[in-house]
Amino acid sequence: MSNETQNQHSPGWLASMLHRPEINGLWFNCKEVKLDGFRFIRCRFDNCRLIISSTNFEIENCFIDKSSQTVYSGDIVKPIRLFNSRYDWTYENMPFFAPTKNPDGTITIKG
């Protein structure tokens, strides 16, 4: 195995691939912000659309006002639906985050 191949399989190489660029101290107002791949530190989000399609983001000491919306896309919603499968409240109040409930009592979660 070449040194290049060995380096690509080392823990340090993997960690460098997961590095999230930091965005520090910015104010986002009426913006659409894709959170994936970034680390937000001490930022503020007012009346924004926060787009999430993976778990590859961090938010640290940030303020998100009540008028901001979070938009979930892709497969990120599947574990949320599985978690909420036991709670009738979710089906009634937040159906997007609930799995499909079948007539026979089973549930379906698809892409």
Predicted confidence at residue 16, as pLDDT, reads 53
Predicted confidence at residue 22, as pLDDT, reads 97
How do strand 27-29 and strand 44-46 relate by DSSP bridges? parallel
Q: Where are the domains of the chain?
A: 20-72, 74-111
Residue 53: both structure tokens together? 């399609």
Residue 102: both structure tokens together? 């079948």
Tell which residue, 34, 36, 69, 68, has the closest CA to residue 51: 34
- Give the span between the Cα atoms of 111 and 102, in whole angstroms: 17
Other CB atoms within a 10 A radius of the CB of residue 48 amount to 19
- What is the mean predicted confidence (pLDDT) over 89-94? 96
- Residue 79 one-letter amino acid: P
Element (H, E) at 53: none
Q: What is the DSSP code (8-state) at residue 24? A: E
Predicted confidence at residue 15, as pLDDT, reads 53
Predicted confidence at residue 7, as pLDDT, reads 54
Taking the model in full, what pTM does it have?
A: 0.72
Q: What is the pLDDT of residues 26-82, one digit of tens each?
A: 999 999 999 999 999 999 999 999 999 999 999 999 999 999 999 998 889 999 999
Q: What is the pLDDT of residues 2-17, one digit of tens each?
A: 555 555 555 555 555 5
